[in-house]
Amino acid sequence: MADSPFVVTATAATFQSVVIDASFDRPVLVDFWADWCAPCRMLMPVLARLAESYGGTFILAKVNTEEEQALAAQFGIRSLPTVQIFKDGRAIDQFMGALPEAQIRDFLDRHIPRASDGLLAQAQALMSAGQVEQAAALIERARGEDPDNTRLALAEVQLLMARGEHAAANVAIERLPLEIAHDPEVNLLRGQLLFATTVEDAPDEASLQARLDSDPGDDQARHQLAARRVLRGDYEGALELLFDLMKRNRAYADDAGRKGMLAIFELLGGQGDLVAHYRAKMMNALY
């Protein structure tokens, strides 16, 4: 394996090019090892074999920590072997110890693009364009070519949402594989699904606004109008309505105002000026 194009040695002088820069093209698996470490010697041939087996979908970079102590310190290596995976210039996950090959494959498969991922990306684009049945056909094709791709389950949730089958989508999202159940994309879907469910069979935005203008105490209209605004991307307008709902009626729909605000914070990644502003307003109002 010494001459494999998929296995490289990384040093302080080359780490930027062979790991950081290279990780923008494909994932780089960095094996921090030492010659005195028996588990390291057990793990190295397994990793090299996997690098060959995966055919260059990732690069294996080996770092001898006895010779590269500064690199080991920089990346917080405290036990050996430690294996980190880099994507887009940064370490995104790691494992420690000489894991069995099957567990290492599971680790890799969480981070390495599969051929069917391209089909699922195309399906997402079609759903965004309203071409739902064409997207369904691509998802089915991906299932036939790569039934073990865990992201198929996520695509199926998106398809149910695109079809307006919100109850089924709610069930499906709770059955997602554990390895993706808390991905940012899944959290985003949960938030979108919450607001999409809220406006099922609801009037359009103009009608809801008219109802609220004529009766400021119409909490249902306020809640549904906020959901309509979320779904068209007006997060500030939605937050203002939900904040008013929280202040007016904590009992409405099991504290829907506060919970809706929290869901929008999640949709926005939990940061930014809008989140900070409304989080402070919510805390002040509550406490």
Q: Which of 14, 84, 7, 85 is nearest to 45 (CA)?
A: 7
CA atoms within 13 A on the CB side of 232: 11
* pTM of model > 0.85: no
Q: What is the pLDDT of residue 135?
A: 97
Distance in angstroms (rounded) separating the CA atoms of residues 258 and 282: 8
For 15, residues 6+ apart whose C-beta sits below 8 A from its C-beta are 63, 71
Q: Region 178-188: what's the mean pLDDT?
A: 83
Distance in angstroms (rounded) separating the CA atoms of residues 80 and 38: 9
Which residues pair with residue 84 across a beta bridge?
Answer: 30, 94
Q: Region 15-32: what's the mean pLDDT?
A: 97
| Structural contact between residues 87 and 111, judged by C-beta atoms closer than 8 angstroms | yes
**Mean pLDDT rounded to a whole number for the chain:** 94
Angle at which helices 256-267 and 184-198 pack, to 10 degrees?
Answer: 140
Reduced to 3 states (helix: H, G, I; strand: E, B; else coil), residue 82 is strand
Reply yes or no on whether the pLDDT at 246 is more than 90.
yes
Residues labelled catalytic: 37, 40
Reply yes or no on whether the pLDDT at 101 is more than 90.
yes
What confidence category does residue 178 fall into, taking pLDDT thresholds of 50, 70 and 90? confident
Q: What is the pLDDT of residue 250?
A: 96
Reply yes or no on whether the pLDDT at 102 is more than 80.
yes
Reply yes or no on whether the pLDDT at 2 is more than 60.
no
φ/ψ of residue 83, rounded to 5 = -120, 120
Per-residue pLDDT tens for 198-228? 999 999 999 999 999 999 999 999 999 999 9
Q: Which of 141, 54, 43, 173 is nearest to 95 (CA)?
A: 43
Reply yes or no on whether the pLDDT at 1 is more than 60.
no
Q: Region 56-83: what's the mean pLDDT?
A: 96
Residue 36 neighbours by CB distance under 10 Å? 9
